[in-house]
Structure 1
């Protein structure tokens, strides 16, 4: 694999102004702060990036701001929100591609109403989508809504054989062993990334890196985990990793990462930390004094 690809990707928040509109300046400043550490990005994710609350024009805007700010330094990729048809997923992917995004993450289809999809319906989705995208893509393997909708290792290998624009697979819900087996099955032709809590173990067994929402708050620590882990400095990697996991362990009770990320950024006075979110999220999520205490006990991010 191309080792110029970073070992860490941050799932970026989306900053808003007090009136709820996009905050272009805060978005650029937030992206610039993270890119300076060498971490790449996934912009507009359905979770941390509040993508389902954004219009097509707003998705285009945050993609373009991020590419303009950081695209010459690190990969700036897109997480278009889950769609319910291949055509809709393709439309969302095209917004990112036209904005200059380096790669587009492809989620599983959102079947809606708790529907159980058949294997043939799943195949229609992937073939109908990947067959039309002439751009680098990554596949996202998340916790499935229904078990028979999840891609197996054999499924991923078959998709890669048909679509050589697949450059990465991000596996969030499975074990390190699954990711190792997938790497071996793909023979090192595709970058394999896991979740932040498995970062050290994954890199020790030769996987490519990890995705992290924690990097919105502690980008320098996340970057140190990635660099030290890749360089074999386990002591340095472990020291930074412990701090990242200590932070996560104390804030994850607030639930999805958009909540604790924006709460921490507000406590630190950083761009994107004005406490504004879009429905269905409702601010505040927790006590600012409490999260300040958490940040102080771990050590505040560099430059704050």
Structure 2
């Protein structure tokens, strides 16, 4: 049974050793630290976890490690996608390793008609009993009609957007929600843009209240503070965290392709767990950019501390 998600969703990085292997010890430490902070779910070996760079054996190891550490406290979803053969294999491997569900990333490279995208989704979901969240991004862009079609597949339980096309997504949310009323099927929508916090106010306005937080991987207290500020309507804290932390982080992220992943890995290392380097074709941040990340973290934490102090005075 697919549990409904609630709260901040944790997307761990995948630590590697100096020889380039998956570092299971540091992965376990990283996942444990994150889960102890209180996320609504763990999405392992997905975009932030360098899904694109993993083989099936490594996925098995990563998922088993996460499942053991999480120990049923929250759902563990694993990434799958790429070529149809790759996606079906990874789906089966994740299920055998104990994952609670899957995030279906786009097919590799090819452009496709909507009928082909639906057929791809069906083929992967047929390969597993696990619940699946489809990811609307890059070359896997669903229309209202195709989103409604895949939402009615028994084990498709969610729709995650990484396009930022709020016009289209708002229509998809409405169309899917209305189409599922007769069956009463539970279904959830997610904001999957990089550094989703900066766009979440807009997504909330169209009924998308859940989002993935890469920030949670290295600064969970900032991610949770922002989420709670949105949930409680604390506009001054929301504005302060955007101004002092999230917007500067996005400016830095956008300076180099792939920083949406490698900056997060650098942040995990800054916070005390050596996550190693990213695999090619991604590159790690320069020393100057790591220093900038450290300053952005300090500014975000200072803004949070100031807001908490103000709240204490007001009480």
Bin of the TM-score, shorter chain as denominator length: 0.7 to 0.9
Q: 2:250 pairs with 238, 248, 251, which one? A: 248
Residues in 2 aligned to 1:209 and 1:226: alpha-carbon distance in whole angstroms: 10
Which residue in 1 is equivalent to 2:291?
289
Query: Following TM superposition, by how much is the alpha carbon of 1:282 offset from its aligned partner in structure 2, in angstroms?
Result: 4.2
Residue of structure 2 in register with 1:154 after alignment? 145
> 1:191-206 alignment to 2 at 5 Å?
191-194=188-191, 195=193, 196=196, 197-206=198-207
CA 282–239 in structure 1, closer or farther in 2 if over 3 Å, else same: closer
How do residues 92-107 of structure 1 correspond to structure 2 at under 5 angstroms?
A: 92-107=90-105
Structure 2 Cα separation of the partners of residues 31 and 223 of structure 1: 16
2:113: which partner in 1?
Answer: 118
- Residues 1:135 and 2:130 aligned together: yes
Q: How does 1:166-245 map to 2 (within 5 A)?
A: 166-187=156-177, 189-194=186-191, 195=193, 196=196, 197-242=198-243, 243-245=245-247
Q: Distance in 2 between matches of 1:241 and 1:204?
A: 17
Task: Specify the alignment match of 2:79 in structure 1.
Answer: 79
C-alpha distance in 1, partners of 2:78/2:34? Answer: 16
Report whether the alignment pairs 1:259 with 2:262: yes
Counterpart contact for 1:183–1:190, Cα < 8 Å: no
In the alignment, what sits opposite 1:27?
A: 27
Structure 2 CA distance for partners of 1:218 and 1:14, relative to 1, 3 Å: same
| 1:298–1:6 distance in 2 versus 1, CA, 3 Å | same
Give the alignment's Cα RMSD to 1 decimal: 2.7
Shift of 1:93: 0.7
Query: Structure 1, residues 136-169: CA drift from partner, whole Å, max 9, x if none?
Result: 100000122xxxx5211211111222x1211111
2: CA distance, partners of 1:289 / 1:233 = 30
| C-alpha distance in 2 between matches for 1:105 and 1:261 | 20
Report SS of the residue matched to 1:126: helix
Rate the CA distance shift 1:35–1:179 in 2: closer, same or farther, 3 A: farther
Q: Residues 78 and 151 (structure 1 numbering): CA distance in 2 closer, same or farther, change over 3 Å?
A: same
Instruction: Establish whether residue 41 from structure 1 lines up as the match of residue 42 from structure 2.
Output: yes
| Count of residues paired in the alignment | 288
Native 8 Å contact 1:141 1:169 kept in 2 = yes
Q: 1:157 to 1:272 in 2, by over 3 A?
A: farther
Aligned twin of 1:52: 52
- TM-score w.r.t. structure 1 length? 0.83
TM-score of the superposition, structure 2-length normalised?
A: 0.80
Is the Cα–Cα contact under 8 Å of residues 157 and 187 in structure 2 kept in the other structure? yes
Counting helix residues as a fraction of each chain, which structure ranks higher?
A: 2
